Amino acid sequence: MSAVLKSVRDEFSDAEWQARCDLAALYRICDHLGWTDILATHMSVRVPGEPNCFLINHYEEMFHEITASSLIKMDLDGKVYGKQGRFNKAGFTIHSGVYKARPDANCAMHTHTRAGAGVAMLRDGLRPISQDVLLVLDDVIYHDYGVPATQEECDALGVSIQKGSCVVLRNHGLLTLGTTVHGTLMNLYMLERACELELISRTFSEPPVLVEPSVVAALSSKMPQIRGEPTWGLHEWKALCRVVEAKGGDWRC
């Protein structure tokens, strides 16, 4: 470890540094998957051992530029700790709202992908038409568009997410939350895939085949336990970390 990196690393506890590395890797993975909107959208993690604090990106950095040390640490009231920097105010509204309302959530991801934003414009949203959607359908909720970066929207989001962790933000995009970074990523990956397939189906000249209600019900009863396992999305996470590492550039600095 270089002297410079060791100096930076020593500013944080072991747990916080690992959380920083995981979040920086998550941003690199989102960049690899094309889930970017220039500087907009944001991901966060709750700081281990500090439930009232979370890490979020420095608003002036592209996702592929984000590193462990460049992340902003702030609390649920908006106070920034340590390194100062610009953060997305609407991002603060969303992520503080998540962590206030859901003590079980340790990670949150928000995107403006074309597929996600497209489904967010549909009145009837996602239908049981693909294997992908069945992995999250029981956990999907819809949150009506509110005025960004306001306390009213923060409170309203907190109410909505009591009912589910895979959120279609109407007229906006997608949001997922989870107890782990890899689990939250897996939730978003499956939700994103479901949205892509939903939009594709709507280009057909005939209606799609719906999955039998009994099958939907059977999977809906099983999926909460499966998604609740610590290994949900873990193998995919490790594989994607290898992919972004092979592309060059180290986020662990």
Task: Compute the Cα dihedral for 19, 165, 190, 32 and give only its sign.
Answer: negative
Q: Could you give the residue ranges of the DSSP H alpha helices within 56-145?
A: 89-101, 114-119, 131-134
Question: Tell me, what amino acid is at 103?
Answer: P
Q: What is the pLDDT of residue 8?
A: 74
Q: What is the mean pLDDT of each run of 10 residues along the chain (253 residues)?
A: 61 94 98 95 97 95 95 96 85 95 98 98 97 98 92 93 97 98 98 98 96 97 96 98 91 90
DSSP string, 186-211: HHHHHHHHHHHHHHHHTTSSSPPPPP
The number of C-alpha atoms within 13 Å of 181 and in the hemisphere containing its C-beta is 24
Task: Compute the Cα dihedral for 20, 26, 32, 37 and give only its sign.
Answer: negative
Q: What is the pLDDT of residue 2?
A: 55
CATH topology of domain 3-246: L-fuculose-1-phosphate Aldolase (3.40.225)
Q: What is the pLDDT of residue 41?
A: 94
Per domain, the residue ranges of the chain are 3-246
Q: What is the pLDDT of residue 1?
A: 52
pTM of the model: 0.94
By three-state DSSP, how is residue 15 classified? helix
Burial class (CB in 10 A: 0-12, 13-18, 19+), 16: buried
